[in-house]
Amino acid sequence: MREQQTALQAEISNHFARLIANKQLVHAYLLTGAKGIGKRELAMWIAQGIFCQENHQGQPCLVCSECQRIQNEQHPDVVMIAPQGLSIKVDQIRYLKAEFSKSGVESKRKIFIIEDAEKMTVNAANSLLKFLEEPSGEVTAFLLTSHLNQILPTIVSRCQLVEVPALTKEQLKAKLTATGNFTKNQVQLLSQLTDSEQAAQELGSKEGFSELVETLWQWFYNILRNKERSFVDVQVSIMPYVNDRQDQELILELISLLARDMMLVKYQRYEEVAFVKYLDKLEDASLHLKPEQIVNGVELVLTTPKQLKMNITLQNILEHLTLKLSECYHS
Ligand SMILES: [Zn+2]
């Protein structure tokens, strides 16, 4: 995956390579952006660029022993800190400071990377703050977070902020495909469901996810064919999948993709269709509908998250939606 780093975040990677080549790195960077978009890989790539013996204008070779040791997290001058349990504790920051006071084990330079930096306890953050205020030697810090608003302003002000952009759909699909865990159809659906690689991986690996997708399709297909059993499907087939609020939101999200797919198919924008597995049936159904019916269907579905926020039960929302959609598609 690392080899794809420059391709995935090409602009930022090139920016940092130039800083390395021109020796213009500052002491501390705060890398922000959604989960799973490669902040950690980016920080490690930069560390490799700094230590690489064969670096080409700041770009690491990725094969020399320095690059390899960083990749394997075995480089004595590149220290990684991640939450232990729910938080990053002050002892972890003390350990970091102790490591750094030794000055570079093999060189004068040291790098540290703090993952999920928002999880630092107040004590840990204050301890780090002192360190950032009196940087000793050639230290470069990378704080990573997907929750910028949870980082102490005093920390933010000591760091240069770098926003790591979200992956494009194509990049996300390539990453999901590379895991080898998902079929082509699943990759397509997950990439339409979220922008985050981590969220996509978690959803795709969630127990019962494929069955839920199949169940929702059957329910929707019954509505398209004006089958009365679609109403009963809600209680009998869909509700058993609901354990918590997240499940409820996921179901509404998937249904919104179904309604949207009808529109995409109608306008032949096939590359964005989420439920590609059922493309033939979607196409067939959309042929029999007028554009305004399809648009009305999307609008009906879009009102459902608001109903959920108003504490209407999911079963009520879906039963009501079933009737409305049937009316809409068969008027
Ligand atoms: Zn190298």
Whether 219 is in a domain gets the answer yes
Centre of ligand 1 to C-alpha 59, Å, is 8
Whether 185 is in a domain gets the answer no
Centre of ligand 1 to C-alpha 49, Å, is 7
**Phi, psi of 141, rounded to the nearest 5 degrees:** -110, 140
Q: Which domain holds residue 269?
A: 206-329
Give the angle 203-204-205 at the CA atoms, nearest 5°: 90
Q: Are residues 224 and 143 in the same domain?
A: no
* pLDDT value of residue 1: 39
Give CA–CA dist 51/111, Å, rounded: 10
* pLDDT value of residue 277: 95
Centre of ligand 1 to C-alpha 6, Å, is 14
pLDDT along the chain (331 residues), means of 10: 54 92 93 87 94 93 95 93 93 87 68 95 92 77 94 93 89 92 96 87 93 98 97 97 94 96 95 95 96 96 94 97 97 87
Q: Are residues 160 and 31 in the same domain?
A: yes
Q: Are residues 108 and 251 in the same domain?
A: no
Tokens of 285: 């159904």
Q: Are residues 158 and 238 in the same domain?
A: no
CA–centroid distance for 286 within its chain: 32
Contacts of residue 170, Cβ cutoff 8 Å, sequence gap at least 6: none
CATH code at position 277: 1.20.272
**Residue 31, H or E segment:** strand 28-32
Centre of ligand 1 to C-alpha 14, Å, is 16
The residue type found at 224 is: L
Residue whose token pair is 């704080």 = 143
Count how many domains the chain has.
Answer: 2
Centre of ligand 1 to C-alpha 62, Å, is 5
CATH code at position 63: 3.40.50.300
**Region of 164 on the Ramachandran plot (φ > 0 left; ψ -120 to 50 alpha; else beta):** beta
Centre of ligand 1 to C-alpha 289, Å, is 59
Contacts of residue 194, Cβ cutoff 8 Å, sequence gap at least 6: 200, 203
Centre of ligand 1 to C-alpha 112, Å, is 18
**Residue 165, H or E segment:** none
Whether 43 is in a domain gets the answer yes
Whether 41 is in a domain gets the answer yes
Centre of ligand 1 to C-alpha 70, Å, is 10
Centre of ligand 1 to C-alpha 50, Å, is 9
Give CA–CA dist 77/209, Å, rounded: 43
Instruction: Tell me if residue 140 falls in helix, strand or coil.
Output: strand
Please choose, from the candidates 169, 175, 217, the residue with its C-alpha nearest in 3D space to the C-alpha of residue 195.
Answer: 169
Give CA–CA dist 36/150, Å, rounded: 18
Instruction: Tell me if residue 139 falls in helix, strand or coil.
Output: strand
Helices (H), the chain: 5-8, 10-21, 39-51, 65-71, 90-101, 122-133, 153-158, 169-179, 184-193, 197-205, 209-224, 229-233, 245-266, 279-287, 291-302, 304-309, 314-329
Whether 198 is in a domain gets the answer no
Domain boundary among 166, 184, 216: 166
Domain boundary among 139, 166, 193: 166
Tokens of 302: 């879009």
Instruction: Tell me if residue 258 falls in helix, strand or coil.
Output: helix
Cβ burial of 73 (10 Å; 0-12, 13-18, 19+) is exposed
